[in-house]
Structure 1
Amino acid sequence: MKQMKCDAVVVGAGPAGSMTAKWAAMGGVDVIMIEKRQEIGSPIRCGEGISKAWLEEVGIEVDPKWIARDIKGAKLVSPSGFTYFVDEKNAGNEVGWVVDRVFFDKALARDAAKAGVKIMLKTAATGLIWKDGQIAGVKAISNGEEIEILADAVIGADGFESQIARWAGIDTSLKANDILTCFQYRLTNIEYDHDYCEFVLGSAAPGGYVWVFPKTEDTANVGLGILTPLIKNSGDPKAYLDKFIAETPGLQNGQPLESVAGAVSVCAPLDSVSMDHLMLVGDAARQIDPITGGGISNSCVAGMFAGKALAKAKETNDYTMNVFQEYEDNWRDRLENKLWRNWMAKEKLVTLDDSILDTLIKSISEVGVEKLSVRNLLAIVKQTHPELVKEFEDLI
């Protein structure tokens, strides 16, 4: 069997994997990044919206090639149509772009390659290699050939269905109430407000929301996520989306260019995503925003921290939790409180009926916020309907 050796093997070439690999390689780590698909960035399993605020920090240079639409802001829409507009005045760099993930993900992988990362496509991990009770690499099938990649560290950046986590014995299992089942069209021949990303709350998507993310003046990603326990039949997400499109002026004549289905974790932060010789990053580590289901920015920030931890491990020749605890500390300091707050808000949000959601969006639009964030929106809810946030008011 063919064997390869490196300091670290990254499983998965999405944003989390590429960012981890790049920052590790910049720190002198010999990195191999494997991707089971034949093309990085495809198929798309995302609404493709990002903010601008975090890009410079993680070293992503803006490239017009991956910007599909420069967005003025967002619209939060209640079930009856009450609308709260968010723009740069109250969101700043949190307003951003709808990107083309095919080009965006490739750009991140290109940056990793420039830093010295070896990329292997059509290479699927099939198991972990263990030596003397410690993780020592991954087994894989690369273009039909069984191989072993020996490494001091394995990075699981293999997404929602992470096998690396399961093989390592890290419990990333999810309760049904912490999973959104999603369905999305790329819809063309539509008439809509293409300067804003739109989020529609309420019974149009039980336990979740409908999104309309502009791609061009007559084309958008139109999708929804439904909380899994509220799905009665497997075809419900598509049926709900078809109903929403049929009942929404401007979308009714839309035609699909592509469709995609998938699941998104909307859980509280995990107790641990690391162990000796292994770290999980991004979707695999459940570092997804429980309110929005968005994970690109969190994945990239966590990936940067993981890459820096790998560089320190290389420098000290210590790939155990003595060093990897730094990754745990850094990503938690940055993300954990927000993830907990947004998870608790999500838990409350899914219990609200359409009439209460109407009242809340109307209240927010009347009061307004100086700077948009889930925390600030909850602060307004606390002012107007304190009973709805009583369980977690100390986090607001």
Structure 2
Amino acid sequence: MKERYDVIVVGAGPAGSIAAKTAAEKGLDVLLIEKRQEIGAPVRCAEGVSKEFLRKHVEIDKRWVCADVNGSRVYAPDGTKVEMAEKLSGKEVGFVLERKIFDRALAELAAKAGAEVRVRTRATGLVLEDGFVKGIRLMHLGKEYEVRADIIIGADGVESKVGRWAGIDTSLKPADIETCVQYLVAGVDIDQECCEFYLGNEIAPGGYVWVFPKGEGKANVGIGILGSKGGKFKPRPVDYLNKFVEKHFPEGKIVEMVFGGVPVSGNIEKFTANGLMLIGDAARQADPITGGGILNGMDAGKMAGEAAYKAISAGDVSEEKLEELYEKRWKTGIGKKIDTNLIVKNCFVSLSDEDLNSLAHSVEDVKFESMRLLDLLYALFKANRKLLWELHVLFKDIAVEAAKNRL
């Protein structure tokens, strides 16, 4: 391992690998590190992504696509089914990936672009001098290293330490995080071309259960529960999931199990510092409604890689420069959508099962194939103004956007 690089990326998930790839393609000397011995494992998400958004970043390789889905079904607590076409289903519906292969492929793309990739390499601290991040302390195969760099990019997930070491407040309240459990279940008879979502406070308080096909009679069956909905004397997420699996897939066989946390807090106040940027779950860039973060992380990784090149080329890696090149770009684009979705999330998690049933009944006859997400939200608001009054702050924007979409 060299003593100096232009950029060091901490974390080889989709966000980190795209950041490393982008920076290396620009000609920067890049080190990408991953604390685990195997990139992509353990899997800690439902593995669903939008085909359209994924194609923005990579050429699709069938080796890491388990299922090609064309829509989704959302079930209200009383069983009312709302069917949505793929384009309306959001960034989490389209392809169901094999993340173990997908993440490794992205790291390989970063390596082909010129980045040096090191696994079993853990960040243990930052090198701070005169208010700037000047490098990082690493542990690799039992040996300690101090490696210098112009810019550190933290892509170390929801439990990120890199941001905290730089003085960035990445703390999460219980209402800001979903506690998740997922099983890979074999021997299930499901529609392999559709993702399913189940809502209800008796099913998944403040969250939902998902069923994503994985091909060959397998499915990812998982649950996310809002931290503020749990408690010492309440069932655990795994208890809710076991109850769901026993009811819906009594003959299914659980062959894998993963646990994790997903940030649903919306944009944090800062995710840049002198010589440092945070991306992906480390920057809390997941969708507050769905918890999906793969594509947002990849978008952020690309922005951060480009910002690193421009800042280093200008000889200015200050917080002000990185904020200008990366943070403001994010917050005026994707960040605005995240702010909107946070308002929607906070409204919906307060609804009772009767409220959710009422919403589902109000759109049973809507033709979703011809609608977009904002059109759906607008239709729900019009039919349930009293119930969804908290969304009135979005009313003008939704109405204007919906009108544009109909033109």
- TM normalised by structure 1 equals 0.95
Classify the secondary structure of the residue corresponding to 2:158: coil
**Unmatched segments (≥5 aa) in structure 1:** none
Cα deviation code 1:75-107 (max 9, x no counterpart)? 111111111111247569985110000111011
1:138 to 101, 118, 136: 136
Offset at 1:268?
A: 2.1
- The 5 Å alignment of 1:73-84 reads 73-84=71-82
Amino acid at match of 2:128: W
**Unmatched segments (≥5 aa) in structure 2:** 399-407
Say if 1:53 and 1:94, in contact at 8 Å, map to a contact too.
Answer: no
Say if 2:267 and 2:335, in contact at 8 Å, map to a contact too.
Answer: yes
Offset at 1:247?
A: 1.8
Say if 2:36 and 2:120, in contact at 8 Å, map to a contact too.
Answer: yes
Say if 2:88 and 2:372, in contact at 8 Å, map to a contact too.
Answer: no
- The 5 Å alignment of 1:274-353 reads 274-324=272-322, 325-353=324-352
Classify the secondary structure of the residue corresponding to 1:220: strand
Write the distance in 2 (CA, Å) between the matches of 1:223 and 1:321: 39
Offset at 1:278?
A: 0.4
Amino acid at match of 1:273: F
Q: Is 1:224–2:223 an aligned residue pair?
A: yes
Write the distance in 1 (CA, Å) between the matches of 2:158 and 2:265: 12
Amino acid at match of 2:8: V
Cα deviation code 1:35-62 (max 9, x no counterpart)? 000011001001000001222333x110
Offset at 1:194?
A: 2.0
- The 5 Å alignment of 1:378-393 reads 378-393=377-392
Say if 2:285 and 2:293, in contact at 8 Å, map to a contact too.
Answer: yes
Cα deviation code 1:274-303 (max 9, x no counterpart)? 112000000000000010000001000111
Cα deviation code 1:128-163 (max 9, x no counterpart)? 001223110100101110001100111000000000
Write the distance in 2 (CA, Å) between the matches of 1:64 and 1:207: 35
Classify the secondary structure of the residue corresponding to 2:146: strand
Q: Is 1:263–2:284 an aligned residue pair?
A: no
Q: 1:306 to 1:89 in 2, by over 3 A?
A: closer
Q: 1:64 to 1:258 in 2, by over 3 A?
A: same
Write the distance in 1 (CA, Å) between the matches of 2:50 and 2:86: 11
Classify the secondary structure of the residue corresponding to 2:351: coil
Cα deviation code 1:310-333 (max 9, x no counterpart)? 111222122123431211122122
Aligned to 2:149: 151
Cα deviation code 1:327-372 (max 9, x no counterpart)? 1122122212211111111111111111111121222232234555
RMSD (Å) for aligned C-alpha atoms: 1.8
Q: 1:370 to 1:194 in 2, by over 3 A?
A: closer
Offset at 1:394?
A: 3.6
Aligned to 1:27: 26
Write the distance in 2 (CA, Å) between the matches of 1:89 and 1:99: 18
Say if 1:302 and 1:331, in contact at 8 Å, map to a contact too.
Answer: yes
Q: 1:93 to 1:149 in 2, by over 3 A?
A: closer
Aligned to 2:49: 50
Aligned to 1:128: 126
Classify the secondary structure of the residue corresponding to 2:336: helix
Amino acid at match of 2:23: A
Aligned to 1:87: 85
Classify the secondary structure of the residue corresponding to 1:352: coil
Write the distance in 2 (CA, Å) between the matches of 1:327 and 1:357: 38
Aligned to 2:271: 273
Q: 1:295 to 1:96 in 2, by over 3 A?
A: same
Write the distance in 2 (CA, Å) between the matches of 1:284 and 1:303: 12
Cα deviation code 1:6-40 (max 9, x no counterpart)? 01100000011001111111112111011000011
Q: 1:93 to 1:268 in 2, by over 3 A?
A: closer
Write the distance in 1 (CA, Å) between the matches of 2:268 and 2:63: 35
Say if 1:87 and 1:95, in contact at 8 Å, map to a contact too.
Answer: no
Say if 1:91 and 1:371, in contact at 8 Å, map to a contact too.
Answer: no
Aligned to 1:170: 168
Amino acid at match of 1:237: P
Amino acid at match of 1:300: M
Q: 1:380 to 1:387 in 2, by over 3 A?
A: same
Amino acid at match of 1:19: I
Write the distance in 2 (CA, Å) between the matches of 1:94 and 1:286: 17
Write the distance in 2 (CA, Å) between the matches of 1:95 and 1:229: 27
Classify the secondary structure of the residue corresponding to 1:195: coil
